[in-house]
Every structure is written in C-alpha cells, then in structure tokens.
Amino acid sequence: MESGFATTPFGRRPMTLALVKANAASRQIPEGATVEKWQVYRWLCEGKSIVGVGDRALAVLSGLLTFYPDDQISEENGLMVFPSNAQLSLRAHGMADSTLRRNLAELVSCGLIIRRDSPNGKRFARKGQGGAVTEAFGFSLAPLLTRAAEFQRAAEQVRAECLALKLMRERITLHRRDVQKLVEAAIEEGVPGDWGGVWRRFRSIVDAIPRRAGRSQLEGIVAELTILHDEVDRMLENFTNSTNPGGNESQTERQQSDSNTDSIFVFEPAFEKSRAAVEPRPAPDERLKSYPIGLVLRACPEIADYAVDGIANWRDLMLTAAQVRGYLGVSPSAYEEACHVMGQEVAAIVIACILQRAQHINSAGGYLRVLTEKARAGEFSVGPMLMAALKANGAAARMTG
C-alpha cells in the first residue's frame, strides 16, 4: 500500500519540488485504470528522445518491471516493487552497482518511478494476515500508469517523424535517379542544352547531402532537386516538341498507312529523317549465308521468348530484335545507327547476343555504339561474337559453305 502524502528520500539525497509534484501526480489515478507493463515500456523505448530517458536507464526499468508480478499495472494489483540492488543488477544484465544507482536516479528525475524509502533506506514489504502486503518500501510504478497516454503520444510522434524522414529520403532517391537518367539520356540522344552545367548543379546538390540529416535539412534538398527535375523535364519536353511539332494522331496514322508494308525496319517518330540521304547503307553482310537462322537461335535462344509467333526466318528475327532493343534500354538512335552501319540482319544478331549476355553488360546502348563504331572502321565481325555465344551455351554447330 502507498501513503497519501509525499515521502522524502533517505540519506543525503535531496528533496525537490519536482519530486513533490511527481508524488502528487502519482496519486491522481483514475478508478479502474490499468496498463500493460510491457506495452508502456515499448512506448517509452520508442519515445525516449521526447521523454528524455537513456538506454541504460530503460534497461534498469526493464529489470524493475520483471519484479512486478502481474502483466497489468493497476492500483488494485499494487504499484510497488522492492528488489535489492544485487537482485536488480542481475536482472539488468550484471550492471555495476554505481551505474545502477545512477540510472535509478535518472528514472526518478524523469518521473518514470517514484522512490519511497524506508527509515533505514532498505527496500522491503510488510505483510499482514493472509500474506497480503500492508506496507512496502521501494519504487512506485504509479507514473507508468498515470502517464501512459503521454508515453503513447510520444511514441506515435517519434514514429510519425521517422515515417516522414523515410518518405523524404525516398523522394530524394527518386529525384536523384530520375535526374541522373534523364541527363544521361539527353546526352546520349544529343539533345541540345547545357547538360554539363545541369550535371554539375545536380552533383553539387547530391554531394552536399549529409550522412545523417534531419527532416528540415532534407526538405531543403528535396526542394532543390524538385526545381532541377522540373527544369530537366521542361528542356526535354521542349526538344521533343520541336522535333515533332505537328505530330498528331491523324498525321501518324496517314504516315503509317503510306509506308511500305513490306519494310522490316520501322523508324521512331523522332528519327524520321533517315541517315540514308547522307550516308548510304552498306550492302548486307554476304557472310550471313554461312550463319543459318537456326545457328543464331541456338547461340542466342533467349530472343525467341520475345517473339509472339516464334522466329522462323530473318524477318521474324529482325522484327523481334527491333522490339527487344527497347527492353535492353538501347535508344532508337543507337539501333538505327547500327542498322545503317552493320546492316539490319547483323544488327539483329548483335541485339540477340547482347540480350543473351545482358546480365554481364552494364549499358547495352553504349556497348552497341562501340560495336557500331568498330564496324564503321571495318574492325568488327559478327562471327566471333556469335561463336562465343554458341560456346557459352555449350552448343555445337556445323558450318556449311
């Protein structure tokens, strides 16, 4: 049982008005109030930064709660625990006596427990007839009951702040990814603009992000990245509008209906001006006669998975390769250039080989451009590439002249 008046600490420990206030608050317990002891402890662990309690003090509180016999803290079940320092140290993972006393004092100063000292400072309980406790000296857990709602709000506030911080970091990640890939795409596609300046601005913002930043700091970084992202989007939108100023559905449909239905290679709208007027397309590689379509499919079987009706001839392979290049991230301009320099059939074989080794190639578009430049200089032949793919798949083929 607890007395109805404030008690003073034993020995040289001083009495303060804060302790008087805590004693008074602990006696204002609503009738029938209860709280699950480990639930309130979890709230304290989550909201410790707001409550102002440290990890070690919470470890001591955990030890104190193990001495409370019931799961529900209530006035009916009693509010006192009275373990000795030796017993409490064992429950607090062998904490040193001086550290234990310091953390008990912290729990008292934070208002999480109330000390009720006996005349000699010892902790014990007196029992009456029937074994019921009539008087106890030790630590009162009443604040955990009276302040439970406060601790719950503190935990919810910390969770909300953590969620807001997580969402802020996610927005930064998305902006970083989008701006970086958009700038890289603009440079690869040859979009006019000061992309070097944009990239330097982007890196200056990203490099300034601290490893441990608060929500207010991240809000400023998100604002800067949002502005930069909008600028990049506008630059790319202006370019696409300028390259296709009169593009609408009726024009697109008329252009497709007037096109040669037997043509295999379909240009993207942004690349309607064919390079053929400037650079004649070389004749198809005569050595293709030595590479049967079946050999290509044995060397690069994965491309067949992207063909709706299977691959039975070179036309099917080239149509499928034109579709697969988009899945690989190869830009229309890079594939168009490869077709003009290598020939559509060889370009299709190269795409099939790249798809087969996609997990080993960081940038399919960059790799294709390198091969295209080598082919332009007469330094590339598709044969070794095809044979390497064939060997990697463990297949064997007989070449017939």
Q: Are 296 and 313 in contact (CB under 8 A)?
A: no
pLDDT in tens, 326-337: 888 888 888 988
Amino acid at 209: I
- Which residue has tokens 């590339």? 380
So what's the pLDDT on residue 56? 93
Q: Are 156 and 50 in contact (CB under 8 A)?
A: no
- Which residue has tokens 């790799």? 367
So what's the pLDDT on residue 25? 56
Q: Are 133 and 126 in contact (CB under 8 A)?
A: yes
Assign 3-state DSSP to the chain and report helix, strand, coil percentages, each to 5.
60, 5, 30
Distance, in Å, from the CA atom of 174 to the CA atom of 356, rounded to the nearest integer, reads: 30
HSE-CB of 311 using CA atoms within 13 angstroms: 26
Class of domain 17-146: mainly alpha
So what's the pLDDT on residue 217? 85
pLDDT in tens, 156-212: 999 998 988 898 889 999 999 999 888 888 887 788 888 888 888 998 998 888 888
Hey, is 119 helix, strand or coil?
coil
Distance, in Å, from the CA atom of 173 to the CA atom of 229, rounded to the nearest integer, reads: 12
Distance, in Å, from the CA atom of 1 to the CA atom of 7, rounded to the nearest integer, reads: 13
What are the beta bridge partners of residue 138? 116
What are the beta bridge partners of residue 34? 74
Structural domain spans, the chain = 17-146, 164-241, 266-392
Hey, is 156 helix, strand or coil?
helix
Distance, in Å, from the CA atom of 139 to the CA atom of 26, rounded to the nearest integer, reads: 12
Hey, is 126 helix, strand or coil?
strand
So what's the pLDDT on residue 136? 76
Please give the average pLDDT of every successive group of 10 residues along the chain, which has 401 residues: 50 56 62 89 94 92 91 85 89 90 90 80 71 75 90 93 89 91 84 86 88 83 91 87 56 39 35 36 42 84 86 88 87 89 91 90 88 90 85 54 36
Provide DSSP, 179-238: HHHHHHHHHHHT--S-HHHHHHHHHHHHHT--SS--HHHHHHHHHHHHHHHHHHHHHHHH
So what's the pLDDT on residue 102? 92
Distance of CA 263 to the CA centre of its chain: 45
